[in-house]
Amino acid sequence: MKLSATFAFILAAAPFIAKAENNDPPKKKKRGSYLIELPASLNTSNDSAKAITLFQASDLPFKPSIQVGAIVHMFASGEQTGFSAPSNDKTAKDWNKGFSIYRARVLVGGQLTKKASFFMETEIPSPIGIQSNGEKNVKVSPIILDAQLEYTFTNAFQLVAGMQLVSNNRNGLQGAAGLMANDFTYFQYPYNLFANSPLQGNFGRDLGINARGFLANDKLEYRLGVFTGRNVDGGAPLRTVGRVAYNFLDAEKDYYYAGTKLGNGKTLAWGAGVDAQATYYNLSTDVFFDHPLGNAGSITVNAAFQYMTGGTKLDSKYSFATLIPKQTVQFLELGYYFKKTKLQPWIRYENQDVSADAAQAGAVKPANFDKINSSSVMGGGLNYFFNGTGTNLRLSYTTRTYNVATAIADDYTKKTFGQLWLQAQFFIF
C-alpha cells in the first residue's frame, strides 16, 4: 500500500520536478506501442488518480475497433445536351434540368490488430435522378467501391491489398470529401473509370497490392503497386503504378490526399508518377500548394501535367494502341478560402491535347482524329463550408469545348457547352 502511494506520488510529482530542472514542454512517454502524455499541469486533488489511470491505460490489452460513416453529394443541375456528347445539332444547346443524388457512399473502417486495418466503401454506379442523356433514373443498386486491407510493418513500409484507388497523380488519389472543385477532373484518369474502359477500372479503382511508406522524417512518400489492369483472358501482364512525393513543409500521411485544406497547416508538395501495362504508359508530375496568405485566409493551388500513350505495336496481344492515343493533359485549380466568411471561390482549367500516331488513328486521318478527341474544360465556383468538409454547399459553372465537324469535309469548328451545379455535401467518418 505504501509502495503504491509512493509510486503514485512520483508520477504526480514528475512534471513539477522536470519543470524545476528545465522549461522544456511535457514529453510523451512511450510504453509498448502506446503513447502516454502527462499533462503540463495537474490538479493536486486528483494528481494520484490521474497518474495511475494514465499508467494503467498503457497496459490494457488491444481491442479491435470499427467505425462507420457516409458521404453524399446531391445537387440541382442544368446541363446542355452537348456537354457529354458534342454535336452540331441545334438541340445540343438545349438544357436538361433536374435534381440528382450524384454520390452516395457508406464507409466502414476499423483496426483489426495493432498493425492491421481495413476499409470498405460502397457507391451507386450511376446518379439517381436526371442523367446526362436526359432520362430519369430512380432506382440504383449499390456496388462495392473499395475493399482493402492494410498492414503496417514499419513507418517506411506498409502494404495495402484489395480493391483500391489507383493513380500516378495527386488528383486521382484525392478523397471525394476533400475536393475543392465540384468534382474530380475529367482527364486525370479517363481510361480507368468503368469496366468497359481500356484499363477496365471501377471509378478509378483496381485490384492489386500496393506498397507505401515514408522516409526522410516523413517528408518523402512513395507508392508502388501491381494491379490487374486490362485482362480479358487471364494471361495479361500486370499493371504497374508508382509515385513519389516530397513535402517541403508539413508532412502528409493520409491515404487519400486533400484537394484543399482550408488554411489548416502549410503544404508544398511535389510529386511524379508512372502508370504502365503492356504497350501503355502514363508519365505525370504534379504540385500542390496550400498555405495561409494574408490575414483573410489561405490559398490553394493544384497543378499537374501528364503524357500518355497506348503505343504503336498492333501485333501485341495486349496492345493499347487503338485504345489510348498519344496525348498530353494539363490541369490547374486555384482557390482562396476566406476564414471569416467560410467562403472559397475557385477556378479550374483542363486541356486534353491528342496527337495520335498513324497506327492509333486507324482509318481516320490523324489530324482529324486529334481534333475529334481533343477537348478542354474551364469552370469556376463558390463554396460555403458550414462545417469544413463535413457539411458544405458548392455552386459551380463549367464549360467544355470540343472540335465539332461541320458540313464541309475535314472542317471543324469549336463548340462550347455548359453545366451548372448547386451541390450539397455531407460527410462523416
Q: Give me the DSSP letters along 205-265.
A: EEEEEEEEEEETTTTEEEEEEEE--S-SSS-PPPEEEEEEEEESSS----SSBPS--TTSS
Domain count, the chain: 2
- Note the pLDDT of residue 133: 67
Q: Which residue has the higher pLDDT, 69 or 53?
A: 69
- Note the pLDDT of residue 130: 74
On whether both 35 and 155 belong to a single domain, the answer is no
On whether both 28 and 153 belong to a single domain, the answer is no
On whether both 103 and 20 belong to a single domain, the answer is no
On whether both 38 and 140 belong to a single domain, the answer is no
CA triplet 305, 307, 312: central angle to 5 degrees?
170
Q: Provide the 3-class DSSP secondary structure of residue 201.
A: coil
Using a pLDDT cut of 70, give the percent of the chain over it: 86
Q: Which residue has the higher pLDDT, 302 or 54?
A: 302
- What is the rounded distance in angstroms from the CA atom of residue 109 to the CA atom of residue 99? 31
Is the pLDDT confidence value at 6 over 70? no
Half-sphere exposure of 148 (CA within 13 A, CB side): 23
Is the pLDDT confidence value at 379 over 70? yes
- 365: CATH: 2.40.160.10
What mean pLDDT comes out for the span 302-314? 96
- Hunting for cell 469549336 — which residue is that? 414
- What is the rounded distance in angstroms from the CA atom of residue 341 to the CA atom of residue 352? 35
Name the domain boundary from 57, 82, 97. Answer: 57
Is the pLDDT confidence value at 324 over 60? yes
Q: Tell me which residue range forms the domain holding 29.
A: 2-57
What mean pLDDT comes out for the span 97-125? 96
Is the pLDDT confidence value at 14 over 50? no
- Sequence-distant (≥ 6) Cβ neighbours of residue 369 within 8 angstroms: 325, 354, 356, 360, 361, 362
- Note the pLDDT of residue 47: 59
Averaged pLDDT of the chain: 87
On whether both 87 and 32 belong to a single domain, the answer is no
Is the pLDDT confidence value at 24 over 50? no
Is the pLDDT confidence value at 122 over 50? yes
Confidence class of residue 134 from pLDDT cuts 50, 70 and 90? Answer: low
On whether both 122 and 9 belong to a single domain, the answer is no
- Note the pLDDT of residue 57: 55
Q: Is the dihedral of CA 383, 388, 393, 396 positive or negative?
A: positive
250-267 tens-digit pLDDT: 999 999 999 999 999 999
Q: Which residue has the higher pLDDT, 106 or 12?
A: 106
Confidence class of residue 59 from pLDDT cuts 50, 70 and 90? Answer: low
- What is the rounded distance in angstroms from the CA atom of residue 131 to the CA atom of residue 18? 65
On whether both 46 and 178 belong to a single domain, the answer is no
On whether both 116 and 98 belong to a single domain, the answer is yes
On whether both 42 and 85 belong to a single domain, the answer is no
- Note the pLDDT of residue 10: 40
Kind and range of the H or E run holding 13: helix 2-21
Identify which of 81, 134, 188, 90 has the alpha carbon closest to the alpha carbon of residue 418: 81
- What is the rounded distance in angstroms from the CA atom of residue 144 to the CA atom of residue 120? 8
Using a pLDDT cut of 90, give the percent of the chain over it: 73
- Note the pLDDT of residue 90: 79
pTM: 0.84
Report the greatest alpha carbon distance in the chain: 100
On whether both 406 and 375 belong to a single domain, the answer is yes
Half-sphere exposure of 162 (CA within 13 A, CB side): 15
- Note the pLDDT of residue 41: 42
Name the domain boundary from 20, 40, 57. Answer: 57
- What is the rounded distance in angstroms from the CA atom of residue 318 to the CA atom of residue 307? 20
On whether both 69 and 52 belong to a single domain, the answer is no
Report whether 275 contacts 168 (CB < 8 A): yes
Q: Provide the 3-class DSSP secondary structure of residue 91.
A: helix
- Note the pLDDT of residue 55: 56
167-196 tens-digit pLDDT: 999 999 999 999 999 899 888 777 998 889
What mean pLDDT comes out for the span 203-224? 97
Least confident piece of the model among 94-108, 126-140, 386-400: 126-140
- Note the pLDDT of residue 23: 44
- Sequence-distant (≥ 6) Cβ neighbours of residue 263 within 8 angstroms: 290, 292, 297, 298, 337, 339
Report whether 261 contacts 290 (CB < 8 A): yes
On whether both 165 and 50 belong to a single domain, the answer is no
